[in-house]
Amino acid sequence: MSPAASGGGGPGGSGLASLAGSRAVRAARAGASGALGRAAAAARATRSDGRRWIGAVRRRARRPQGPGVGVGGFVVELAGYLKERRARVERALEEALPAKSPDPGRLVEAMRYTLFLPGKRLRAVICVAVAEAFGGRERDVMPLGVAVEMVHAASLILDDLPAFDDATLRRGAPANHRVFGEATAVLAAVSLLAAAFRHLGDRSRPRFFGPDDAVGAVRELADAVGENGMVAGEALDILARGGRPDLDELERIHALKTGSLFIACAGEAARLSGAGPLEQAALRAYAKNLGLAFQITDDLLDVVGDPAATGKDHAEASEGANFVAFAGVEGARRLAEELIETATSSLEPLGKRATTLAALAEFVGRRDR
């Protein structure tokens, strides 16, 4: 364990939870400040305005809200926003992976089974929200959002297999391998990954970004998935089982396993929408912190959430490398809160354009499933 992580008591000590929160947030902020510091002087006025605006969004996003409530005309009430954007994502997914007949081995059925389980579609919605922040078109980033949702579905199938978590439930339904068998589940996951990259790179249908953009998006997503991203995080998670990973190890595992896809969504959607280097760096910092906060909230729900809402077997879901085992329930909650605050602070260079993204971060901290 590193000196920073080991100070203030052992893993079960009362001082460690607070220190864990400070250590993780300092690390995240250091990563963001290095990327943003070169342009700080030029952006000072914008960031000052952004601080006031993001603070207002945080205060309003935490209040009970009715339809159409916003800050300065910008919507921060997310129920209607998420419902509408989620429906658009669902339609795009249906177009990308329609049912097939005949379907030898029920392969496409198995792919669609997990892809269309009820979900938040948060990753794809972030792609759309980033495009909206820069005045871009939803259709410019929806192929990326669809591809990321396919990758995420593939990861859920693999996570649930007996060789990994051996889960019985996923989003309230039997895990894929419990319905279709392990062999078909593995094939469905592999085929979902292939479908994701086909969808990004396919130029036989009208595409709304050019070949160079398609190549860049494929490269970005491949890096987020493979040995430098999600799969690497899964490998580290497997190695950590049975042990007591320290804070640095936990952060690395979940920054790769969960954060990589969030970073690809925000950073690549920003590039496709014409964002500049400073803005892209701000969104990557936002996504890194948001991804870690999302994972910590998942860990909390595995322990204290309602199984009827989470749709998971908590005894199974709480195993492995997780922040609650490391810092305790209250320590994990404080850490998630700090990470969400850091995520929203990272949006300061965007000013008012970041209203929806800031509200999405607050939603991550309040979700119950």
Q: At what angle do helices 122-133 and 277-304 cross, to 10 degrees?
A: 150
How many C-beta atoms lie closer than 10 Å to residue 364's C-beta? 22
Q: What is the mean pLDDT of residues 346-361?
A: 94
Of 80-84, 96-100, 203-207, 298-302, which gets the smallest average pLDDT? 203-207
CA 238, 244, 248, 254 torsion: positive or negative?
positive
Coil vs helix vs strand at 74: strand
Q: How high is the pLDDT of residue 207?
A: 52
Q: How high is the pLDDT of residue 310?
A: 56
Close Cβ partners of 233 (under 8 Å, ≥ 6 residues apart): 252, 253, 254, 255, 256, 257, 258, 260
Does the pLDDT at position 75 exceed 80?
A: no
Q: What is the mean pLDDT of residues 357-362?
A: 94
Q: How confident is the model at residue 161 (pLDDT cuts 50, 70, 90)?
A: very high
Return the higher-pLDDT residue of 78 and 261.
Answer: 261
| Cα–Cα distance for residue pair 279/5, rounded to 1 Å | 31
Return the higher-pLDDT residue of 155 and 12.
Answer: 155
- pLDDT tens by residue, 25-44: 444 444 433 333 333 333 33
Best CA proximity match to 348, nearest among 47, 137, 36, 20: 47
Q: What is the mean pLDDT of residues 320-324?
A: 80
CB 260 within 8 A of CB 229: yes
Q: Which two structure tokens, joined as six digits, stand for 32? A: 């963001």
Distances (CA, A) of 306 to 172, 271, 334, 335, 369: 11, 38, 20, 21, 8
| Cα–Cα distance for residue pair 282/334, rounded to 1 Å | 23
Best CA proximity match to 196, nearest among 127, 123, 147, 231: 147
Does the pLDDT at position 209 exceed 70?
A: no
Q: What is the mean pLDDT of residues 61-68?
A: 41
Does the pLDDT at position 143 exceed 60?
A: yes
Does the pLDDT at position 322 exceed 90?
A: no
Q: How high is the pLDDT of residue 355?
A: 93
Percent of the chain, pLDDT > 70? 72
Q: Which two structure tokens, joined as six digits, stand for 152? A: 């995420």
Q: How high is the pLDDT of residue 195?
A: 97
Q: How high is the pLDDT of residue 37?
A: 34
Give me the domains of the chain, ranges plus CATH numbers.
Answer: 43-62+69-366 (1.10.600.10)
Best CA proximity match to 229, nearest among 246, 254, 247: 254
Residue type, 159: D
Q: How high is the pLDDT of residue 24?
A: 46
* DSSP summary character for residue 153: H
Instruction: Estimate to the nearest angstrom the gap between the alpha carbon of 287 and the chain centroid.
Output: 7
Residue type, 269: A
Q: 102 preceded by cis ω (within 30°)?
A: yes
Return the higher-pLDDT residue of 108 and 272.
Answer: 108
Q: How high is the pLDDT of residue 197?
A: 94
Q: How high is the pLDDT of residue 34?
A: 34
Distances (CA, A) of 285 to 84, 194, 292: 27, 28, 11
Of 27-36, 50-59, 179-188, 300-309, which gets the smallest average pLDDT? 27-36
Q: How confident is the model at residue 327 (pLDDT cuts 50, 70, 90)?
A: confident
Q: How high is the pLDDT of residue 40?
A: 32
Q: How confident is the model at residue 79 (pLDDT cuts 50, 70, 90)?
A: confident
The pTM assigned to this predicted structure is 0.79
Q: How confident is the model at residue 6 (pLDDT cuts 50, 70, 90)?
A: very low
Q: Which two structure tokens, joined as six digits, stand for 326? A: 């490391």
How many C-beta atoms lie closer than 10 Å to residue 204's C-beta? 6
Q: Mean pLDDT across the chain, nearest whole number?
A: 79
- pLDDT tens by residue, 107-130: 999 999 999 999 999 999 999 999
